[in-house]
Amino acid sequence: MIAPVTGNDRAAALQDDNFAADAEGDYEGISSSSGGYTCKMEIPSDLHGNIVGKGRSTLQKLEKDTGATIAVPRKGDNSSTVIITGPTAAAVAAARTRVGIICDQGRSHTGYTHFLNIPLSGMAAATKAFQEGLYDVCGDAQGMSQELFVDPARVHITLVMLKLLTEEEVKKAGAVLKDSSESVISVLGGAKLGVSLDGVEIMNDDPSQVDVLYAKVDEP
């Protein structure tokens, strides 16, 4: 996942009301400006509300605690640039740290936007046969409908779920995937990767609230 900032030590700092502005010693990316210091953060617009908070309460507390001023684009501005200015580099660095942590937390609560998968087009016939057999046995069950089944041609193995909130993040993820493809091919050495499917799983712990039923993949 491409996230703005990570680190358990920074998350702990956010919980400490006595976190001093000069405790953050990383000043990389902070430049001196007229009468103070400034830095820019590229943050997806979906997370701007987390920085501002209800009634601007979060933003006001950040500015009060760090002594920095945080300029967040207005809704509809179509900008992802958050500008932090302050009288000292330490104040700007502290504000940047806290903004990053808030964005980490906000991202963790957003839904997944993309997923990486391996198509199983060769299993379309077997999948269709399974669906037809299941419908023959359970077709009279309450809520059962052929519309519940995925198109056999779209059957796949999901490798990882992603939260990519901007076009730039999508491009970066694509570049990482492209750069790593040769390494993956090299590891396989031209051999085929086999997996087996055994049983089914649900995406939560309550069978009565199931939205997705999927085949369980055994380790290759």
Residues 55-77 have pLDDT tens digits of 999 999 999 999 999 999 998 88
Number of structural domains (the chain) is 2
70 and 138, same domain (yes or no): no
In a domain, 133, yes or no: yes
* CATH classification of the domain holding 102: 3.30.1370.10
CA-based nearest residue to 13, from 71, 69, 85, 95: 95
In a domain, 122, yes or no: yes
pLDDT at residue 4 tops 60: no
In a domain, 88, yes or no: yes
Alpha-carbon gap, residue 98 to 14, rounded angstroms:
6
14 and 100, same domain (yes or no): yes
Q: Which domain holds residue 77?
A: 8-108
Reading phi first (left if > 0) and then psi (alpha if -120 to 50, else beta), residue 152 is in alpha
Is the dihedral angle over the CA atoms 19, 25, 26, 29 positive or is it negative? positive
Q: Which of 63, 93, 108 is the last residue of a domain?
A: 108
Cα 195 from chain centre: 27
Token pair in block for residue 95? 């504000």
100 and 135, same domain (yes or no): no
pLDDT at residue 45 tops 90: yes
The pLDDT of residue 25 is 56
Alpha-carbon gap, residue 102 to 97, rounded angstroms:
9
130 and 103, same domain (yes or no): no
- Tens digits of per-residue pLDDT, 105-145? 999 999 999 999 888 877 888 888 888 888 888 888 887 88
Q: Which of 108, 140, 163 is the last residue of a domain?
A: 108
In a domain, 2, yes or no: no
150 and 79, same domain (yes or no): no
- Residue pair 94/23 in contact by the 8 Å Cβ criterion: yes
In the structure, what pLDDT confidence band is assigned to residue 14 with cuts at 50, 70 and 90? very low
145 and 212, same domain (yes or no): yes
Q: Which of 62, 93, 108 is the last residue of a domain?
A: 108
